[in-house]
Amino acid sequence: MKDRSDYNPPKDPRTGPRLWTWGLVLIGLGCVAYPWDGAVMQAAGALGERLGGDVRRELEAIQQYGQFGSIVIVSVAFVLLQPWRARRLLDLGAAAGLTWVVAIALKMLVGRPRPKFEDPRAILGPFGVYDVGPEAGVRHAWEVWAPISSDLWSMPSSHTAFAVMFSVFLASLAPRVAPLVWVLATLVGACRVLFGAHYLSDVLVGAGVGWICGWLMVRRSAGVLGMDWVWKRAVNREAPGAYGRLVEAEQGRLG
C-alpha cells in the first residue's frame, strides 16, 4: 500500500460541511475591525519602521507568496513531482481567475484610499470621488483609465486574497503542507499591514474573498470539469472525460 497521506480525493460539492462559510466569517471580522483600522495602522507603522536589513527584505519577499512568480514556481515543481496530477492546475487557474475578478470588482465598488492618505474612515463606494493628487486630481475608484494607479483600491487586499486562494489549493491537494501554507498566507496579510499597503480590515476581507473563491473552485474541480465541458462541445463530443481519467490516475498512483 502506498502512502496516501497527501491524497485528498475529490468530494461531491453538494455534500459535506460548507467550509466556504469561513470566508464569510473572515469578511465579517473585517467589518468588525474597520473602526480600529487607524489605531492598528499607527502601531503597525511604528513597528515596520524599526525593521530593516535582511529581516525587512525577507518579509517583503514572503509577502509575494501567492503572486504570479511564486504560483509559477510552485506549479512547475508540482508537475515535476506529480505529473499525473498536472490537470489539477486547471483548478488553480479557475480559482485564480475568479479571485482576480472578485477582488478587482470589489476594489472598484468599495473605493477605499490606501493608508498613505491617512484617511482610514474613507469609503467612496461606486459614486464617491477622492483627490488622489495633483496628477490625477479628483477621481472615482473605477476610473482605471486615469492615473490613479491602485491608490483607491485598498479594500480588499488582493495579495492576501491570492495567498489564501493558493493555500486552499495546496492544502487540498497536499494536506501535509497545510501548516506551512497557512503560516505563509498569514505572514502575507501581516506584512501588507506592517508595510503600510493595507488596513487590517482590507486584509481580513481579502482573506475571506480568497477562501471563498479558492474553496468553491478547487472543491468543485471547476477547472478540469470546465475544460471537459468546452472540449466535448467544441472539439470531440465522444472524448472521454479528463476529470474521470484524472481521478483514476490519482487512485492508481496513490491507492
Residue 249 lies in a domain: no
pLDDT at 244: 66
Cβ-based neighbours of 255, under 8 Å, separated by 6 or more: 2, 4
Closest CA to 228 of 210, 246, 213: 246
What is the reported pLDDT for 249?
64
Evaluate whether 176 touches 126 at the Cβ level (below 8 Å): no
Q: Is residue 11 part of a domain?
A: no
**Would you state the cell numbers that stand for residue 77, as one nine-digit string?**
515543481
166 occurs within a structural domain: yes
Q: Flag whether 15 is in a domain.
A: no
Low-confidence ranges of the chain (pLDDT < 50): 1-16
Please indicate, yes or no, if residue 199 is contained in any of the structural domains.
yes
Estimate to the nearest angstrom the gap between the alpha carbon of 85 and the chain centroid. Answer: 22
Task: Name residue, grid cell 490537470.
Answer: 87
Specify the CATH number for the domain of residue 64.
1.20.144
For the question of whether the overall pTM of this predicted structure is more than 0.75, the answer is yes
Residue type, 154: S
Residue 93, number of CB atoms within 10 A of its CB: 18
The helix (run of H) or strand (run of E) holding residue 131 is strand 130-131
Q: Assess if residue 120 is contained within a domain.
A: yes
pLDDT of residue 179: 95
The answer to whether position 115 is within a domain reads yes
Closest CA to 207 of 152, 155, 150, 142: 155
CA distance 158 to 20: 18
> By residue range, what is the domain housing residue 58?
21-126+134-219
- Helices then strands, each counted (H, E), the chain: 10, 2
Number of domains observed in the structure of the chain: 1
